[in-house]
Amino acid sequence: MSANTGELITIQMSQINPKERISKIKAIKMFETGFLNKLEAGKFETLSKIHKYLFEDIFPFAGEIRSENIAKGNFRFTPVMYLKASLEHIDSMPQSNFDEIIEKYVEMNIAHPFREGNGRSTRIWLDLILKKEIGKVIDWNKVDKEDYFLAMERSPVKTVEIKELLKKALTSDTNNREIYMKGIDASYHYEGYNIFKSSDLK
């Protein structure tokens, strides 16, 4: 394959699926500008700001609570009529240690407050809580996609599996740009977005 052919494929991929490229660039800026450091850890308002920052150039509903019921497979996320009450409850949940933080994360996943982009924005939200509360973040590059989804599927019943999986991937290197970038790539890979590497984007 010639260099020119390779360039053409990259351009075509970008045109087919610009969402990944656009929001990954925003994710990088979120880290590099210190945007995340200014947010209050553990609040829905913070998650809403993260979602809006990531997706405001893609979704007209970026940062806004969904107005329709949604499901994934056989699992139905929190019904719209209970969603605001659920988010208020999550805001009030404790977050002083690892177990409490993951329990809060699981509840936010069950709430699934946005129409799209919940997983990617909520994993950033989770890392912000871990960083501010216990001085650690998750190296998502070390968390297998299938193991993660299986653990998350079972988390509404038992949180032990997801806690053990994520605890093994904890790192104290909270300001490491490479870990953050690889983590963004892994997080997007979970959702089927894996054309662009964060390290190649500006």
> Residue 166's pLDDT is what?
98
Q: Which residue do the tokens 């924005």 mark?
A: 121
Q: Is residue 1 part of a domain?
A: no
> Residue 174's pLDDT is what?
96
Q: Is residue 44 part of a domain?
A: yes
Q: Is residue 7 part of a domain?
A: no
By CB atoms closer than 10 A (0-12, 13-18, 19+), residue 35 is middle
Which uninterrupted H or E stretch holds 174? none
Question: Does the pLDDT value for residue 90 go beyond 80?
Answer: yes
Q: Is residue 86 part of a domain?
A: yes
Question: Does the pLDDT value for residue 128 go beyond 80?
Answer: yes
- The parent domain of residue 181 ranges over 17-196
Q: Is residue 3 part of a domain?
A: no
> Residue 199's pLDDT is what?
66
Q: Is residue 10 part of a domain?
A: no
Question: Does the pLDDT value for residue 186 go beyond 80?
Answer: yes
Instruction: Say which range, 16-20, 107-111, 185-189, has the weakest mean pLDDT.
Output: 16-20
Instruction: Say which range, 62-66, 73-77, 156-160, has the weakest mean pLDDT.
Output: 73-77
CA dihedral 191, 64, 109, 117 (to 10 degrees): 0
**Hey, what long-range contacts does 37-43 have (CB within 8 A, 24 or more apart)?**
39/128, 41/95, 41/128, 41/129, 41/131, 41/132, 41/133, 42/91, 42/93, 42/95, 42/101, 42/104, 42/129, 42/133, 43/91
Q: Alpha-carbon distance 175 to 111, whole Å? A: 29
Please tell me the pTM assigned to this model.
0.89
Find out whether 78 and 111 touch, Cβ atoms under 8 Å.
yes
By CB atoms closer than 10 A (0-12, 13-18, 19+), residue 71 is exposed
CATH code assigned at 74? 1.10.3290.10
Provide the number of structural domains found in the chain: 1
Q: Is residue 8 part of a domain?
A: no
% of the chain surpassing 90 pLDDT: 82
Strands 170-171 and 75-76, bridge-based pairing: unpaired
Question: Does the pLDDT value for residue 196 go beyond 60?
Answer: yes
Q: Residue 101: name the closest of 140, 66, 135 by CA.
A: 135
Q: Is residue 117 part of a domain?
A: yes
Q: Residue 166: name the closest of 153, 152, 184 by CA.
A: 152
Q: Alpha-carbon distance 159 to 142, whole Å? A: 19
Q: What is the mean pLDDT of residues 115-134?
A: 97
> Residue 141's pLDDT is what?
94
